[in-house]
Structure 1
């Protein structure tokens, strides 16, 4: 029909450029980690093939595709070989091989990233990407260049912006991965700032800081999530919510992606078109919006990649010919690989490209098909985009995580309608907050409502038992899932199999997940005490009543302790006990507080280490909670739990480990069952209690200090325990539990359960009939 809009699904797809880009990508990925000579040989071979194919194409045009692919391979490999040669022959690599102590002048290239591994006393550490400008080694200054990863204390680098030049002392280390070309620098002192960062980085810092201030009036979870949606700032995002988003397949919402940029530019274009602004001015406004987005979110490789992908997707959709954008996508892939060869093995890059391709090629057809089946247009587009993006990125996620989300599509469908509103309002708040904090806060308050919905969606779907299922990881797992997904798509084209697949999906989502949760057998009936499997640390729970418990320590990480408490149905913690402030006992405090009411907090008498004090204060301050230290003899009655404080009489100083020996030592009585909870008290503290004649008798012993060798046999014998529980992490660096300790427990005739082998350990029953139930180690692997 004359004037009818073209059907995007009926366009012929030109895949030659896409195949060429894929060939270049694959060649670069394979050559990463190879010798310079091998890369040069492959590049030369590609040039020869390209030349031969070009000659043959004069007679038969089908050879042109091969020639294009070969030349693209050579295009990315030739400069890569030069970079590789320069990196491997640089002064930095030579000094790193000697573990040289240097003073380095660096330019920071990205925000410091927190590390899971911690420093002395559990102090947080960060990884800082930087480019070298000069080094002073063995008394001689050398001008140099090359990428450096700085390993340092988080406190030392707080507030350091990308683009900042710094001088830092440290020891160079060779890369852990032989294929890497980046050396590491273990910093030994805080950095000295040289000059100021570029204006755009300072502007980005101001905007990001003011957006955080504008979000101050939002609820806890929304306050941390909104900046993540806008500029990727997840510094205050609740770690438990972050994990729930990961399980629900919503992680892309808090990672700077082409979606964020597309929404902003798309919203602007809709307004400008309504105002009948000329196309040229619309294009200029779109470019300025993309530039503003890049500045606010920081011009890192991931942000620039997102901006490129967003422009391609918008360009294709705006022209009504999304499939014609495929060559532009292919050209962008080649260009980005030329700019940063490391993207060839970057999972985020792979998912970004695949998702963009799916939105361009798959989503329009699926959306049209759903509309033909009378699904409303907005819902049809949301379902199509979510399903297409999840389908193509699931193999990459499975390869990395070894798991597949069963709830990603429904979670994204429910989240999609409010993402645009939250993004647009949040970006307005970010732009206006530096000009007027009050106006920015008002707009952030409006943005908080759709963000609250996203929190609810993420909490619900990410909190379902069985939200993800195990899947083989690595390349084999990715290929297997790709084949399975392809089979599902083929079968879904036919009416009969499509109905069977729909019924299976409904059963999985509406029956399997709730039934699995209800029939898991956990928690066991009549449980009194649970040692949660939180890795190398303590997180212990005493049942105080329905949905109520006394929590003893919180483990090293928020996610496992939240998982354990959620599995036990605990929503109220009338008393939180922190035996001492080492990270393996307080690092997970945010997880214990997550969506739970806490009435009071007590801790041991020693306010060390400083990092633990800071973590606890930071978590408790927003709730108006304060820590107090009870003396020996103090008693607490909390529901069904009675607690006696047995020690310490004072804070210890001058012992092998003052924080460990200063642990609160408690004896809990729950329905007549006595449980001794000595924290990490070591020989000095144990002997002091023995000398003071403290009554240590109990039915259950939480073995001190994760089963370390620093326990007195007389202390263990004085408990007369019938069951011992060791809270310890698998394959820990400390050798816990000690073989000597295990031998002592065996000699005393006390059976021992360990969280590293048994998972969550629950003690049930009565004084005359104790039983132990286990919730295997798989429970702690979300």
Structure 2
């Protein structure tokens, strides 16, 4: 056993040396490497000398690898468009376009690649290739030619930079047969799963072959929040099951000796290409290979030296894995299973009096505890329910993996049988998504944590405390720790529970970032919603917070992305009675998307003078058709809710505000407000500098809300806008105050801001 642990020393030495080199790129690398070598040679203690020599090797290899990026060559071409010949080395993945202010960027397609030639100069340098949808037609192993814009990455990076497609792509080669064959198998598996429910269709390929391409952002998010993302990454368990299956088949066919082991090795190699050779896959493959070699030679294999060998070999081959998140998480989780799981299982079995239950708990606890510090540094969040989530899904993982192995064999041969097997797997896959979605919806599912070494060290300290408690077996420390954890969870829950929202709220400004999302209470569980913000998750959470089950009127003031892109989150799972949309369908793409999402929901285009009335709400459209642009065509409302007057104007700019003012002066609106001061106003266009003092002076709002994203690049809200609104009443802004509720109590208006918590996500 001591020898097993000794093998970890050079592995850790290589890793630490390479990691230190990645942090010290500005220091003379040769001097650093020489110093480390000298120290290692003169050390009297053998083990420490081996460790430092391994550190030197790691630092030297990473230095050489960084030099091979040839950034100096590309710096001369930074920002220029070049003719490049590129070899794709991974599958193309789609990245949803981000919302920038009013507009949504087009979706992008990315892949890792090696640039083989630039403007006639031959080389071989890793790059990130970015393109449009035409890039998705190509796969790993294919060589293509294109015009691309070069952007060189500064500092430490595993690629020299990015190459963004300009113009058409020309295929040079179709790729090697192994890439073509495995890509075809992956396509057949996905095709066979198309008839399944959406969650099963998205999750099963990830569970079986590590293909996450079908997962949408919502499923990815809930899997992350509950610590279940690792399920869709092929791991050592997959390789172990495949190897055991092949061993069983081989022996059943009376294949013996080296032929059996060579056959297993060859099929496992094909399996690597099928699931794609990511760092975590290669770690699992090398460990499996080491253990198979030991078994073939009749030697008792130990997983600890296998893990050490995998770390050393992969870092020697590709030193860039030193800061690869997938590699690190894979190693740490495996280490937790090897070092910690047996200890926890032993302790728990004594208390629970059940070996099976103790093992089921020990596996997620050990893997989670070892991985937590890394997860905090990578994501800045701490999933405190991941152990529960992993425990709940553990019983179905083995079933899915075993059936998935059969699916990989059957689907390429007979798609119908593959679909049938997919239906068999579906209930188990849906159980995973049910657990993920249910637990993710809990307010304390994930806590915000410092995304730094301080955050990691604090988690390590907490893990050490947990281990000490488990080892001591004392009840008092366990009780105290549980109380502390419960207190922390309460601190996290409070901002997202309904406790802070006043029961008598009338208006609620959802904090949706740089966008708009205003909710007007019209009854118990009912509301009028004006705009839905840029993110469906944020508006969905806000409406859930308020208990809104029915939207009797949804007003989409105009079609800019920061006002309508959250539509799916607002309408999914809720009854929507009626929708108003702007008459100007600009931008056309967003308008078409809105129409598609609304489907058969009654939708109309209001004009100036259009009225709406329900039990507690009366409102009128006072601007909607300036014709100047999308902002100035925002549906603008004045109204009264349970005796509280309000004015909401979307993104009106100067022309639209002038139109609204004219309508206000010409119309008889005494049934909506007294003509003196409006009680509440949603500041126009996020408080931009384009404010009409005459309109604000005419309305003289007592309370004004600015819906604005923190750190937005547009300067919203402008100081001039803040000054104008503050002249007549109090102002609140979501970038500082988060979500805001307004209520009327007696003759007073009361505003309640969401309390801040440093922990809640």
TM-score interval, smaller chain: 0.7 to 0.9
d(CA) in 1 for partners of 2:421 and 2:620? 51
Select 2:688's aligned residue among 699, 708, 712: 708
Relative to 1, partners in 2 of residues 1:155 and 1:384: Cα closer, same or farther, differing over 3 Å? same
Please tell me whether residue 743 in structure 1 is matched to residue 723 in structure 2: yes
Select 1:732's aligned residue among 703, 708, 712: 712
Superposed CA offset, 1:726-782 (max 9, x none)? 1100111000011121122123x0322110000001122369432211114559962
Moved more, 272-281 or 467-476: 272-281
Give the aligned CA root-mean-square deviation in angstroms: 3.9
Select 2:478's aligned residue among 483, 501, 517: 501
Instruction: Give the superposition deviation at 1:42.
Output: 3.5
Name the SS for the 1:348 alignment partner: helix
Instruction: Give the superposition deviation at 1:277.
Output: 7.0
Does structure 2 conserve the Cα–Cα contact (< 8 Å) formed by 1:532 and 1:540?
yes
Please tell me whether residue 93 in structure 1 is matched to residue 70 in structure 2: no
d(CA) in 1 for partners of 2:350 and 2:411? 44
Name the SS for the 1:362 alignment partner: helix
1:152-551 aligned within 5 A: 152=131, 154-155=132-133, 157-177=135-155, 182-189=160-167, 191-254=169-232, 256-258=233-235, 261-262=238-239, 264-265=241-242, 268=245, 272=249, 287=265, 290-308=268-286, 324-426=302-404, 428-429=406-407, 432-497=410-475, 500-501=477-478, 504-505=481-482, 508=485, 516=493, 521-551=499-529
Does structure 2 conserve the Cα–Cα contact (< 8 Å) formed by 1:403 and 1:468?
yes
Instruction: Give the superposition deviation at 1:537.
Output: 1.4
Relative to 1, partners in 2 of residues 1:20 and 1:579: Cα closer, same or farther, differing over 3 Å? same
Relative to 1, partners in 2 of residues 1:478 and 1:116: Cα closer, same or farther, differing over 3 Å? farther
Relative to 1, partners in 2 of residues 1:627 and 1:480: Cα closer, same or farther, differing over 3 Å? same
Name the SS for the 1:580 alignment partner: coil
Relative to 1, partners in 2 of residues 1:108 and 1:23: Cα closer, same or farther, differing over 3 Å? same
d(CA) in 2 for partners of 1:204 and 1:172? 31
Please tell me whether residue 649 in structure 1 is matched to residue 625 in structure 2: yes
Instruction: Give the superposition deviation at 1:28.
Output: 0.5
Moved more, 354-363 or 512-521: 512-521
Does structure 1 conserve the Cα–Cα contact (< 8 Å) formed by 2:74 and 2:152?
no
Name the structure 2 match of 1:762: 741
Name the structure 2 match of 1:105: 85
Instruction: Give the superposition deviation at 1:495.
Output: 2.8
Instruction: Give the superposition deviation at 1:568.
Output: 2.0
Please tell me whether residue 114 in structure 1 is matched to residue 95 in structure 2: yes
Does structure 1 conserve the Cα–Cα contact (< 8 Å) formed by 2:384 and 2:447?
yes
d(CA) in 2 for partners of 1:751 and 1:777? 20
Name the SS for the 1:393 alignment partner: helix
Name the structure 2 match of 1:676: 647
Instruction: Give the superposition deviation at 1:109.
Output: 2.9
Does structure 1 conserve the Cα–Cα contact (< 8 Å) formed by 2:21 and 2:63?
no
Relative to 1, partners in 2 of residues 1:763 and 1:316: Cα closer, same or farther, differing over 3 Å? farther
What are structure 1's unaligned runs of at least 5 residues?
Answer: 1-10, 57-62
Superposed CA offset, 1:42-94 (max 9, x none)? 333444455556xx6xxxxxx44234324433433333333333324652233
Please tell me whether residue 132 in structure 1 is matched to residue 115 in structure 2: yes
Relative to 1, partners in 2 of residues 1:486 and 1:406: Cα closer, same or farther, differing over 3 Å? same
Name the SS for the 1:736 alignment partner: coil
d(CA) in 2 for partners of 1:285 and 1:637? 75
- TM-score normalised over the length of structure 1: 0.84
Moved more, 596-605 or 14-23: 596-605
Moved more, 388-397 or 221-230: 221-230
d(CA) in 2 for partners of 1:46 and 1:681? 65
Does structure 1 conserve the Cα–Cα contact (< 8 Å) formed by 2:702 and 2:730?
yes
Relative to 1, partners in 2 of residues 1:691 and 1:115: Cα closer, same or farther, differing over 3 Å? same
d(CA) in 2 for partners of 1:553 and 1:263? 52
Relative to 1, partners in 2 of residues 1:504 and 1:478: Cα closer, same or farther, differing over 3 Å? closer
- TM-score normalised over the length of structure 2: 0.86
Does structure 1 conserve the Cα–Cα contact (< 8 Å) formed by 2:580 and 2:603?
yes
Name the structure 2 match of 1:27: 17
Relative to 1, partners in 2 of residues 1:186 and 1:527: Cα closer, same or farther, differing over 3 Å? same
Does structure 1 conserve the Cα–Cα contact (< 8 Å) formed by 2:19 and 2:322?
yes
Name the SS for the 2:77 alignment partner: helix
Name the SS for the 1:488 alignment partner: helix
Name the SS for the 1:690 alignment partner: helix
Name the SS for the 2:28 alignment partner: helix
Does structure 2 conserve the Cα–Cα contact (< 8 Å) formed by 1:263 and 1:424?
no
Superposed CA offset, 1:217-241 (max 9, x none)? 4444444333333344444434334
Superposed CA offset, 1:291-333 (max 9, x none)? 4543343334454345445666899999999992212211211
Does structure 2 conserve the Cα–Cα contact (< 8 Å) formed by 1:683 and 1:710?
yes
Moved more, 36-45 or 507-516: 507-516
Relative to 1, partners in 2 of residues 1:677 and 1:494: Cα closer, same or farther, differing over 3 Å? same
Does structure 2 conserve the Cα–Cα contact (< 8 Å) formed by 1:701 and 1:721?
yes
d(CA) in 2 for partners of 1:285 and 1:83? 34
d(CA) in 2 for partners of 1:728 and 1:151? 31
Select 1:38's aligned residue among 19, 22, 28: 28
Relative to 1, partners in 2 of residues 1:527 and 1:706: Cα closer, same or farther, differing over 3 Å? same
Instruction: Give the superposition deviation at 1:689.
Output: 3.4
d(CA) in 2 for partners of 1:315 and 1:541? 65
Relative to 1, partners in 2 of residues 1:300 and 1:247: Cα closer, same or farther, differing over 3 Å? closer
Superposed CA offset, 1:481-517 (max 9, x none)? 21331232123222324x6416743885699559955
Name the SS for the 2:50 alignment partner: helix
Name the SS for the 1:326 alignment partner: helix
d(CA) in 2 for partners of 1:726 and 1:504? 42
Instruction: Give the superposition deviation at 1:124.
Output: 3.4
d(CA) in 1 for partners of 2:64 and 2:504? 68
Name the SS for the 1:389 alignment partner: helix
Moved more, 731-740 or 437-446: 437-446
